[in-house]
Amino acid sequence: MALARAFASVASLARQGESKLSFASRAFATNTTVNGVPVEVHNEGGSKRVVVTKTLPGERWLQFLINAGCRVEVSRHPDIILTNATIKQLIGTKCDGVIGQLTEDWGSELFEALKQAGGKAYSNYAVGYNNVKVDEATKRGIPVGNTPGVLTETTAELAAALTLAAARRVPEADVFMRAGKYKGWLPNLFVGQLLQNKTVGIIGAGRIGAAYARMMVEGHKMNLVYYDPYPNKQLEEYILLYGELLRYRGEPPVACKRVETVEEVLKEADVVSLHCNLDASTRHLINAQRLAMMKPTAVLVNAARGPCIDEAALVAHLKANPEFRCGLDVFEDEPAMKPGLADCPNAVIVPHIASASLWTRSGMATLAAANVAGILSGYPVWNKTDILGFVDKPLAAAPHAAPSIVNAKELKLKMVE
C-alpha cells in the first residue's frame, strides 16, 4: 500500500508539473502578425516552426509541440473558415508543420505551399479527412495525420441525444415553453414516439455505430438490425449475451441481425442512424426513394457525413410527413443548410458538435500535435488502435511515436513494432 501511495504521489506531482508548465507556456505567449495575419506565438525560440490554423482546446497538445522544440504560431484571424490565401500567408517561406481544420481545402495548392516552405508534416484536427487530398501530400513526401480513437463514445452519445430529442420532440417543446405558450397540461401536447422495445437500425457498424447500437439496445431494450459490408461479430456476440441476461431476469430478450441491403434496414427500423464513411457509394445514400421506404413515424439520425443524405429530398419528405423526424449534426453543404430545413419543426439540427466533449476535443488536439511533433522528431508511426497513451498518460510516459499517419505505408515510414 505504501508503494502504491508513493507511485500515486509521483504521478500526481507529474500531472501538477505538466499543468504548471502548460500555464506558464500560455502566460508567456506573445502576439504578432505573419504576413498581415495575427498569430499567438508559443515557445518563441523554438527551432521548428509549426502553424496551427485555429485555437485548440486544452493545454496538453501545446506541450507535445514545445517538448519537440517547436515554435508554435496559432492563427487569430477573425474568419471562422480560412481561405487558401490566408493559410498560405500563415505558412510563409519557412514552415515545418501545420495543424489544419476539416473546413479547409488541403489539396495541391496548400501542400505545394507547405512543401516550398520546407514543410515535413500536416495533421488534420479530425478523424475524417475528406477535405484532404492525401495523394497530393504523398506526391510531395508530406505525412498526413488524423485523430482517431477519441471520438467513439462522444459521437455515439450525440447520436443518441439526437435520437431521443427527435423522438420525444424536445426542441419543439423547448421553443413552445420559451415563447410563453404553455397554459396547462394537455393529453395531446407534444406526443412523441416511445423507443422502448422498438427496433434500431444502423448503417455502418464500425466503432461509432457499434457504440451507438449498444447505447440504444441497453438503454431502451431495442432490437438491432444493421447493414455493413463486413459482419461485426463482436457486436453481435455482445447483444446476444445481453439478451441472455434479460432472459435470465425474466424479460424478453433483444435480438440482433445483419442484413444484406440498406433497404432492409430502412423498412424494418423505427430509428435509423447513419455511421458510414463518405465515398462515391454513400453520397446521397439516403435519397427520396429510400426515404419513402421508411416508416411514417421513423427517426433518421446523421452524425456521420452530411452528403450521405440528399438534403433537399429530406426537406421535402419532412414537409410531406409531419410525423417523420430527423436529427442532424452534419449537412450536405456545411455550414449552409438546404432551403426549408430550418423551417421544419420535425428536424432537430445542431452545428456539427458530435465530437464536442472537452475530453474528446482536447484529445483530438493532442493527437494532431503529437502527429506533427512525432514526424518532426523523427519518431516512428504508431498506427495502432489504442492511442490513449498519448492522451491520458503523463507526457514523459507517452509513446515516442506519431499516433496516426494515414499515408505512412505509401511514404514507407517506419512503424512501431
Rounded distance, CA 404 to CA 397, Å? 18
Every domain of the chain and the residues it spans: 28-127+357-397, 151-180+190-349
Rounded distance, CA 157 to CA 48, Å? 38
- Cα 68 to Cα 101, 311, 397, 400: the distances in Å are 22, 45, 15, 11
Count of CB atoms situated within 10 Å of the CB of 342: 10
Q: Kindly state the cell numbers that stand for 112.
A: 505545394
- List residues bridging with 223 in a β-sheet: 199
Q: For every one of its 417 residues, what pLDDT tens digit does the chain have, with 9 covering 90 and above?
A: 433 443 343 344 344 444 444 444 455 799 999 999 999 999 999 999 999 999 999 999 999 999 999 999 999 999 999 999 999 999 999 999 999 999 999 999 999 999 999 999 999 999 989 999 999 999 999 999 999 999 999 999 999 999 999 999 999 999 999 999 999 999 999 999 999 999 999 999 999 999 999 999 999 999 999 999 999 999 999 999 999 999 999 999 999 999 999 999 999 999 999 999 999 999 999 999 999 999 999 999 999 999 999 999 999 999 999 999 999 999 999 999 999 999 999 999 999 999 999 999 999 999 999 999 999 999 999 988 899 999 999 999 999 999 999 999 999 999 998
Rounded distance, CA 398 to CA 391, Å? 8
pTM score of the predicted model: 0.87
Burial class from Cβ neighbours inside 10 Å (0-12, 13-18, 19+) for residue 343 reads exposed
Q: According to the CATH classification, is domain 28-127+357-397 in 3.40.630.30? A: no
Rounded distance, CA 102 to CA 69, Å? 26
**SS3 (DSSP) at 70:** strand
Closest CA to 202 of 172, 227, 176: 227
- Catalytic (active-site) positions: 305, 334, 352
Count of CB atoms situated within 10 Å of the CB of 274: 24
Rounded distance, CA 296 to CA 377, Å? 56
Rounded distance, CA 164 to CA 98, Å? 39
Return the CATH superfamily for domain 151-180+190-349. Answer: NAD(P)-binding Rossmann-like Domain (3.40.50.720)
Q: Indicate the helix (H) or strand (E) that contains 325.
A: strand 325-328
Q: Do domains 28-127+357-397 and 151-180+190-349 have the same CATH topology?
A: yes
What are residue 186's phi and psi, to 5 degrees? -135, 145
Rounded distance, CA 99 to CA 145, Å? 9
